[in-house]
Amino acid sequence: MGYLLKTNWWKWLCIILLTYTIIGGLLLPVPKLPILNETIRVLHFHVPMWFGMILVFTGSVIYAIKYLKTNNSKFDIYSSQLASTGIAFGVLGIVTGMAWAAYTWGEPWSNDPKQNASAVSLLIYLAYFVLRNSLNDEQQRSRISAVYNIFAFTLMIPLLFILPRMTDSLHPGNGGNPALSAVDLDNDLRKVFYTAVIGWTLLGYWIASINIRLSLAHQKIENAS
């Protein structure tokens, strides 16, 4: 994160990749699948929200651990701002998923195990901010929320990746069918999908980096006065 705060080249990479994602995602050929029809293109926009969320939360939990090791308040700011960006990605992921499901599964919320588990996982992360805002002592807030961050991250893994796979689910990648198989993700889709994941994740880090810098500036002003 320290490196990302100092450099700018990856922001340009983000702009290029996302521009390519829009053009390629809407124009390049896609597999012709029943029910899905053209909505298969949502793959480049809905799925990267979740990939981006997980990658941003990974950054968040790494800095939570770093904070616990060093007690440096800088890492607490990194961790919390990354977490809030991650939640924004998760909310966008769930809303776009509902819109997609309304046209392919028949209803926006079918209590599918994947939907329920991702909602629970988001609620756990929302509680992270409830916890943060309820503690007044700075050191205590940083320490407890860092521990809770690790807890939330480790809960997210089984909620998103293991539990939905143990039952039947409409969502690709669950109930026995892998999502990134040759059937679900053919070579036409791959050309855009991977760049989309990197592009959207970089956008997340970009937004988080601005929030982090503003938080650091705020902290400096408070310390000076």
Query: Which residues bind to other proteins, rule: CB under 8 A?
Result: 11, 15, 18-19, 22-23, 26-27, 32-34, 37-38, 206-207, 210, 213-214, 216-217, 220-221, 224
Distances (CA, A) of 166 to 124, 160, 163, 185: 21, 11, 5, 22
Percentage helix, strand, coil for the chain under 3-state DSSP, each rounded to 5 = 80, 0, 20
3-state secondary structure of 36: coil
Whichever of 27 and 166 has its CB closer to other proteins, that residue is 27
Task: State the minimum distance, in angstroms, from the CB of residue 210 to other proteins.
Answer: 5
In the bound complex, what is the minimum distance in angstroms from residue 116's beta carbon to other proteins?
30
Q: How far is the CB of 20 from other proteins (least distance, A)?
A: 11
Residue nearer to other proteins on the CB measure, 7 or 167: 7
User: Tokens 């988001």 correspond to what residue?
Assistant: 122
In terms of CB distance, is 7 or 133 closer to other proteins?
7
CB neighbourhood size of 214 (10 A) = 12
Asked whether the beta carbons of 169 and 175 are under 8 A apart, the reply is: yes
Given the complex with other proteins, which of 180 and 210 has the nearer CB atom? 210
Report how far residue 81's alpha carbon sits from residue 75's, in angstroms, rounded to the nearest whole number. 10
Task: Give the nearest distance from C-beta 5 to other proteins in angstroms.
Answer: 10
